[in-house]
């Protein structure tokens, strides 16, 4: 059975050497207890839990799946015990405020934890992951009474959380939400409606589930400006915070899915369920974006995780499996054939997976530092500072979610390809990674939606290209520092060219969109992918720069580790980064190539 090994060596390289998290934590109030020794101990223990508890349940959970019995969802064998161990370990409250039962560590520590657990077993990690989003939403937008009632049991992991947005008639277009919320004399509301695709909507892991629900008040304006946000618990809390009577919210069905079968994806029916308004009336979508952005960054991990997991298993197989002889001559002359690892095309696939996993991890860890500053500012009540970091993170969020999940899908499929026919067989686990990963480009907004958010909203509408100019200036300043380094100069020069091109492309799309609004939608996907490849190139230059310095001055890792980092960076620049130019060409293509065929003429059947 395939097993997962936490990539602690690479994680610590990024945390300690590339991004200097020890120094970063010293600037944060929440970082006081995040000393190098504590961080190392947490990472090690999380790695152990992921390897020994969660990874063994990955394939068995997929085989068994969840089942619905009389309205109750039963999770696969071993999940409840694993969740109890998760709760006992205090993992849910790792980055939660101490006043509500958390450990008060920086938000980035939660991301490191989530990466390992999610890579080991994504279906399992979705249960506590959805709770994190509910916790963040209540913390930022709830009243003090709501915080006291819900945050403590959510932080302890005794209660779970969900977000209920999608309805049968609407997914991304939340302006079509029909769920109603009728005000009651006691200040509560009665919610009626149906929500679909609700992850963790019903399960047997926690004693209560807190649903965060979008609904409309009776006099609400039409469209997205008329949506409010509500807390709807499965069981109504008593005055002393205990679990009370059952609320009128039930699971009507379990979705039959392509993957993540051990994660309960539910149809939830609200039949006059008691709910409580969170945030201002008719501003629910703005409040829900706290939850959605949390989920989108979490989903970006589902791009890195499958690349890492598929790479680990494909690498092990490529070393053991023998087939034919290498074109450059026998590598294992005493054997009947050479190992797959000696074939250049197999190396191409493995290095692509490695470059995506380690480059994507760096992108996430870079963003996590911004998240730390943003969360700290919100906690301190410094709205101006919080908005500054929120804007920086907001620009990167669609790139992280859209780009990394697309690469995760590619890497997972490459893993199947390395295995050949055996990759198509369930017992090896490779096809499960593909099935589980496919959802990542769809939920929390498809890649197309992320692309429109990036280009249409973050770049053109909100900043008129300013977000690109600010980020590329940072990249260019870093690249210039390494123009005199012989090993790094080719990469630095290429990156400088790309930062200039990124700005030119932004202006050209902006000007074209003034004449043809379809340009934004037509160019958005290519713009997002281009942005992702350049952003990852920046991360690989940062890793290469540290590796080169360690080779010259000595480092904690073996020389082979740093040499491999440099080699992988060079592979990325030579073999993968050229894809950016194809996206650059495509995004400037006229929209007539997309729009000239009439819808009725797009199919010729019968």
Among this protein's residues, is 182 annotated catalytic? Answer: no
Contact 432, 59 (CB under 8 A): yes
CA–CA dist 343, 326 (Å, integer): 6
Distances (CA, A) of 521 to 235, 407, 458: 44, 21, 14
Residue found under tokens 């952005």? 293
User: Which residues lie closer than 8 Å to 85 by C-beta, 6 or more apart?
Assistant: 49, 53
User: Which residues lie closer than 8 Å to 558 by C-beta, 6 or more apart?
Assistant: none
Closest to 215 measured CA to CA, from 190, 180, 175: 180
CA–CA dist 306, 2 (Å, integer): 14
CA–CA dist 488, 490 (Å, integer): 6
Q: With DSSP H G I counted as helix, E B as strand and the rest as coil, what are the percentages for the chain, rounded to 5?
A: 60, 10, 25
Q: Give the rounded distance of the alpha carbon of 192 from its chain centre.
A: 31
Query: How many Cα atoms occupy the beta-carbon half-sphere of 280 within 13 Å?
Result: 5
Q: Which two tokens stand for residue 183?
A: 């005000």
CA–CA dist 163, 130 (Å, integer): 7
Strands (E), 222-316: 228-233, 235-237, 243-246, 249-254, 265-277
Residue found under tokens 């109504």? 236
Strands (E), 20-178: 67-69, 72-74, 159-164
Distances (CA, A) of 398 to 67, 124, 392, 601: 34, 24, 12, 34
**Across-strand partners of 250?**
269
Q: Which two tokens stand for residue 138?
A: 């209540």
CA–CA dist 538, 535 (Å, integer): 5
The active-site residue, picked from 444, 470, 557, 559, is: 444
CA–CA dist 590, 516 (Å, integer): 9
CA–CA dist 378, 220 (Å, integer): 29
Closest to 391 measured CA to CA, from 411, 371, 405, 408: 371
Residues with a known catalytic role: 444
């Amino acid at each position: 059975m395939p097993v997962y090994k936490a990539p602690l060596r690479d994680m610590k390289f990024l945390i300690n050497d590339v991004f200097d998290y020890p120094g970063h934590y010293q600037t944060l109030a929440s970082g006081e207890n995040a000393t190098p020794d504590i961080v190392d101990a947490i990472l090690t223990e999380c790695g152990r839990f992921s390897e020994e508890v969660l990874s063994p349940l990955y394939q068995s959970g997929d085989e068994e799946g969840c089942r619905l019995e009389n309205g109750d969802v039963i999770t696969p064998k071993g999940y409840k015990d694993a969740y109890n161990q998760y709760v006992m370990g205090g993992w849910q409250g790792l980055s939660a405020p101490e006043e509500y039962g958390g450990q008060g560590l920086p938000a980035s520590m939660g991301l490191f934890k989530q990466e390992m657990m999610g890579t080991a077993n994504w279906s399992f990690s979705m249960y506590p992951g959805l709770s994190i989003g509910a916790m963040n939403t209540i913390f930022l937008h709830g009243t003090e009474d709501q915080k006291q009632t819900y945050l403590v049991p959510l932080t302890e992991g005794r209660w779970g959380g969900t977000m209920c947005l999608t309805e049968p008639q609407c997914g991304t277009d939340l302006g079509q939400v029909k769920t109603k919320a009728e005000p009651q004399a006691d200040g509560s509301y009665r919610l009626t409606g149906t929500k679909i695709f609700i992850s963790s909507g019903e399960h047997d892991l926690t004693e209560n589930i807190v649903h965060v629900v979008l609904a409309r008040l009776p006099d609400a304006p039409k469209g997205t400006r008329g949506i409010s946000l509500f807390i709807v618990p499965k069981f109504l809390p008593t005055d002393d915070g205990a679990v009370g009577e059952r609320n009128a919210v039930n699971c009507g069905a379990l979705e039959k899915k392509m993957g993540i079968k051990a994660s309960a994806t539910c149809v939830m029916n609200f039949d006059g369920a008691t709910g409580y308004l969170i945030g201002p009336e008719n501003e629910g979508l703005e409040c829900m974006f706290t939850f959605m952005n949390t989920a989108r960054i979490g989903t970006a991990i589902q791009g890195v995780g499958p690349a890492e997991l598929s790479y680990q298993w494909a690498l092990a197989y490529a070393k053991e499996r023998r087939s034919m002889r290498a074109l450059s001559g026998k590598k294992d002359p005493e054997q009947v054939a050479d190992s797959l690892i000696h074939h250049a095309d197999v190396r191409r696939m493995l290095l692509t997976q490695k470059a995506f996993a380690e480059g994507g991890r760096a992108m996430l860890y870079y963003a996590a530092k911004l998240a730390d500053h943003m969360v700290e500012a919100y906690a301190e009540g410094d709205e101006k500072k919080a908005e500054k970091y929120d804007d920086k993170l907001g620009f990167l969020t669609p790139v992280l979610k859209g780009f990394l999940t697309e690469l995760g899908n590619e890497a997972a499929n490459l893993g199947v390809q390395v295995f050949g026919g055996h990759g198509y067989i369930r017992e090896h686990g490779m096809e499960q990674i593909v099935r589980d990963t496919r959802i990542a480009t769809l939920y929390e907004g498809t890649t197309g939606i992320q692309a429109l958010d990036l280009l249409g909203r973050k770049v053109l509408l909100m900043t008129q290209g300013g977000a690109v100019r600010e980020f590329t200036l940072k990249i260019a300043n870093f690249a210039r520092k390494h123009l005199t380094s012989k090993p790094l100069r080719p990469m630095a020069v290429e990156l400088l060219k790309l930062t200039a091109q990124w700005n030119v492309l932004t202006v050209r799309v902006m000007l074209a969109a003034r004449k043809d609004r379809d340009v934004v939608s037509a160019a958005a996907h290519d713009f997002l992918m281009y942005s992702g490849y350049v952003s990852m190139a920046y991360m690989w230059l940062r890793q290469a720069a540290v590796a080169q310095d360690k080779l010259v001055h000595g480092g904690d890792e073996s020389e082979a580790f740093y040499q491999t980092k440099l080699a992988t960076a060079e592979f990325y620049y030579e073999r993968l980064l050229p894809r950016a130019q194809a996206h650059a060409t495509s995004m400037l293509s006229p929209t007539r190539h997309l729009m000239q065929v009439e819808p009725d003429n797009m199919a010729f059947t019968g």
